[in-house]
Structures are given as structure tokens and as C-alpha cells.
Amino acid sequence: MLKMFSRKILAFCAALVPLFAQAAVIANSEAEFSGVQGQDGWYYGYYELGRPGMQLMSYYQENGQDSAWFVNNQYFKAFLTAWGGHPQMASKPNVGGRTGSEYWTTRRWVSDYEGEVTISTQIYNMYDFGSMVGYITVNNQSTLAVLDARAEGVSGLWLDYTLTLAKGDFIDFIISPNGSDDWDYTTFKAVISTTGSAVPEPSSASLALLGLVAVAAPAVRRRAKNGRRA
Ligand SMILES: [Ca+2]
């Protein structure tokens, strides 16, 4: 009985470790890309020059690895795919699917997490000729990073930024054409992880503990039963 009890405590403590110590990925722009606005906290849209706020893209085309969001079902120059996107300039209106407006394509993640996170991002131009600038902004108020896609493409590195989020905060990953939009297909990925320094609120921590007790106890019982059989 004493042995059984100690095993329960061990299992209980092991289950608690991830709550307080380990970093965990909470968002991945490529893996969680979908044709549903808001799924896993991701939204697909654009900033239109001279218009406040992000507009949501309204048309999604399923096409395997080339599946993409577009401004609407008539204009296909500005788009977002799983790994990147393409902005649009207004310099050549009504040519090549341009509507005449300038669109900075924007992938938005809305946080359901409260605490410190690391945003890891990778940006580079898909072709040698393109020139574009990526922005990472928080709540459409502060700019976390300004990234020259051509320069960063040379390094090919993942860049890390650490910040503290509240629930409902949103991060925008924006691709601007930086002059012409020719050859501006841009890889722009983001992986957001907890840093492990967040401390759960007492109420949510208590609820988590109750849940873990319920989960941990049956697991120990099953292991003990299997042990007797062996
Ligand atoms: Ca450009």
C-alpha cells in the first residue's frame, strides 16, 4: 500500500513538471495554416494603404501545397500560403489581377496565452529579384521587428524575439512590397513558444491539479495491473 502510494505521488509530480518548467510551442504558422479564419488563433488578411485596421481575406482556394487565401475571388495578386505570401502594389492597377489598391498581406495570431513567449521567425524572398520588407507588430500599435526579406534570406536564419503577452493580444506578420511587387513571393514563417517562465493563476492552477489527479490515478492503476500479469 505504501509502495502504491509513493508511485502515485511520483506520477503526480512528473505530470506537474510541464506546467511550471518546460517551454512549449503554442502556435506554428505553417503547420496550423488552414482555410478557416480564426482556426488555432490564425487570421488571414491585409492592410490596405489609407484604410485603418486589418481587413480579412474572403476567398480561400484549396490546391494542395499551393492552397492560398486571396483578397477575394476576383483578384489573385495578393495572397497568403502556408509558408508565406505576396503583397500588391497599386502602381499597375488592373494588370495581373491588381485592384488598384496597395495591399500589405498580413497573417495574424491572436494569443489565448498569458505570459512570456518567444517568437521565432524566418523570412526570405523566394526569387532572387524580389525586394520586400516584413514587419512584426503587436496589437497594431508597436513594431517588434522590421525585416529586409532579401538581406535576411542571405542568412536563412530563424530570428527570435521575446515578449510578454496578455490573452487577446495579437501579432501581425506583414509583407510589404517595398516599391515594385514584381517577384515579391516571400517566405515568412513563425513559431511561437512559451519560455517556461509563466506562472499559472491560482484558480487555473488548482483546476489543472484536479484534472491531473483524475488523469494520473487511472494511469498508475493500469501500470500496476500490467505488472501483476507479467
Ligand atoms: Ca518589391
**pLDDT of 44 over the 90 cut:** yes
CATH number of 24-195: 2.60.120
- Residue 159: which of 146, 169, 174, 170 has the closest Cα? 146
Strands (E), the chain: 25-28, 42-48, 55-56, 59-61, 68-70, 79-80, 84-86, 103-110, 115-125, 133-138, 142-148, 159-165, 170-176, 186-194
Q: Please report the pLDDT score of residue 93 as a whole number.
A: 56
Percent with pLDDT over 90 in the chain: 55
* CA gap 145, 118 in Å, rounded: 13
pLDDT for 154 beyond 90 = no
Spatial separation of the C-alpha atoms in residues 82 and 117, rounded to whole Å: 22
Distance 214 CA to ligand 1 centre (A): 56
Q: Judge whether residue 175 has pLDDT over 50.
A: yes
The predicted structure's pLDDT at residue 157: 85
Give the model's pLDDT for residue 220: 37
Indicate the range of 33-37, 59-63, 174-178, 204-208 predicted with least confidence. Answer: 204-208
Cell numbers standing for residue 72: 477575394
Instruction: Say if residue 82's pLDDT is above 50.
Output: yes
**Which residue would you say has higher pLDDT here, 126 or 195?**
195
The cell numbers describing 220, all together, are 498508475
Q: What is the pTM of this model?
A: 0.75
Ligand 1 center–CA 180 separation, angstroms:
4
Q: Which residue has the higher pLDDT, 152 or 88?
A: 88
Q: From CA 140, how far away is CA 129, in angstroms rounded? A: 29
Q: How far is the CA of 132 from the centre of ligand 1 (A)?
A: 5
Q: In which band, very low, low, confident or very high, does the pLDDT at 81 lie, cut at 50, 70 and 90? A: very high
Which residues are in the CB-under-5-Å shell of ion ligand 1? 131-132, 177-178, 180, 184
The mean pLDDT value of the chain amounts to 81
- Ligand 1 centre distance from Cα of residue 3 (Å): 67
For residue 227, pLDDT beyond 80: no
The predicted structure's pLDDT at residue 179: 86
Residue written as grid cell 490515478: 217
Contacts of 164 (CB under 8 A, 6+ apart): 115, 116, 117
Kindly list the domain boundaries of the chain, sorted by start residue: 2-17+203-229, 24-195
pLDDT (tens digit per residue) in 52-75: 999 999 999 999 999 999 998 887
The answer to whether 185 touches 146, Cβ cutoff 8 Å, is no
Dihedral sign (CA 160, 164, 168, 169): negative
DSSP bridge pairs for 80: 69, 85
**Helix, strand, or coil (residue 64):** coil
Rounded distance from Cα 96 to ligand 1 centre (Å) = 15
Placement of cell 476576383 in the chain: 74
Helix (H, G, I), strand (E, B) or coil at 198: coil
More confident residue, 180 or 70: 70
pLDDT class of 152 with cuts at 50, 70, 90: low
